[in-house]
A = this chain, B = another copy of it.
Amino acid sequence: MDRYEIRLSGAGGQGAILAGIILADAITKADKFNVAQTQSYGPEARGGASKAEVIVSEKVIAYPKVTKADFLLALTDSALKKYLPDLKKTGSLLIDEEVFIQDKDLLPKEVIKIPIFKIARDQVGKIITANMVALGAMTALFDFIDKGEIEKVIAKRVPTDTVELNLEAFSAGYRFIVE
C-alpha cells in the first residue's frame, strides 16, 4: 500500500477525533505500516466541528495531512458538504444513513450507508458511542487493520467504566458490515 488517506469528520463532541486517534494508534502498534495522524478543530472547523486525519503507508510519509482522501467518514450534513469535494472519485464514503447528500455528483464509487446513530442509540443504548460504531464499520471495511489490536487500544483509551459499552458499540458497527 503506497499511501492511503483517511479523514474522519463530525460535529464537536461526536468523537471523530478520538476514533481517528484510536485508529492510528492501533495501526501503529501492528507495526506493518507508517502512520501519520493529525486533527483539527476551532476556527477552521466552525461550531466545534472536528476532523481527524490518518495517513497509512508502507513508505515514508513525507506529508502528514490529507491531500485527496481515499476514505471519508462524515457524521453530519455539514461535515459531508465540507469534505466530499476532497474525496477521490475512486475512494469510499461512510455516512450515517440519514445524512443529507447535497452534491450527488461528487459521490465516490463506493458509498456505505449505516444507521450509525440508530445502532448507538437503540442497540447499544448510548448515542455517545456512535464514533465506536463507525470505527467498528471502518475496521471491517479496511484490510490493513487488525480487529483485536483496535479493541485493545479502545480498552486503553476510553474511561474505565465505559470500556464494555464502547467495545459493544465497536462490535455492533463491525458486525453490521461483516454479517
Name A's B-contacting residues (CB within 8 A): 10-15, 41-43, 46-50, 75-78, 95-96, 98-100, 116-118, 120-121, 127-128, 130-131, 159-162
Copies of this subunit: 2
Instruction: Determine whether the beta carbon of A77 is less than 8 Å from that of B47.
Output: yes
Within the complex, which residue of B42, B48, B50, B117 is in contact with A48, where a contact is CB–CB below 8 Å? B117
Q: How far is the CB of A102 from chain B (nearest CB, A)?
A: 11
Alpha-carbon gap, A8 to B11, bound state (A): 15
Q: Which of A46, A47, A127, A131 has the most CB of B within 10 A?
A: A47
Alpha-carbon gap, A152 to B95, bound state (A): 38
Question: What does DSSP make chain A's interface, helix, strand, loop or mixed?
Answer: mixed
Given contacts A76-B76, A78-B77, A121-B41, contact A47 B96 (CB under 8 A): yes
Q: How far is the CB of A144 from chain B (nearest CB, A)?
A: 27
Closest 5 CB pairs of A and B: A48-B117, A11-B11, A47-B99, A12-B117, A13-B14
Instruction: Determine whether the beta carbon of A96 is less than 8 Å from that of B127.
Output: no
